[in-house]
Amino acid sequence: MSDQLTALNELAAMQHDAAMADLSRHNRAIQALDTRISELRARLYSTPSTEQGDALPLSLTSGHYDTWQRWAERELAKLNTDLARARAEREAFVAAARLAFGRKSATDALLKQQKDEKRIAARKRLEHNVSDDQLGKKPLSF
């Protein structure tokens, strides 16, 4: 029973570690999407500066900047959709991590209870052996 419980505890610990790693990876992906969106928004909504020797005035008059703006807006819409999907999927990762944590906690508690029971049984055996030794001896008489 002890070997099975130890193996179950190790399995629950591995599942917990895997679930937490998946949740962490998913949270990093959400953070990366947030960062990309904010960077693209900052570039899209900032006023371009025109300096001497810069090709921006030429791109503004030729329509390339407008084309880039349309692309950036489409990219923002796609990134926002991906972000919404990732945030919706996050709940599944949180639920899996919660379940794995519960299983690990339960097996930890069972293992601790088993060790406590073994320790108490060993202490009772020791006390019983000591009391048997003391009762079996005859007192010294003078």
Give the span between the Cα atoms of 55 and 62, in whole angstroms.
11
Burial class (CB in 10 A: 0-12, 13-18, 19+), 9: buried
Q: What is the pTM of this model?
A: 0.69
Q: Phi/psi of residue 48, each to 5°?
A: -70, 140
pLDDT digit string, tens, across residues 60-102: 666 777 888 899 999 999 999 999 999 999 999 999 999 999 9
Place of tokens 């807006």: 73
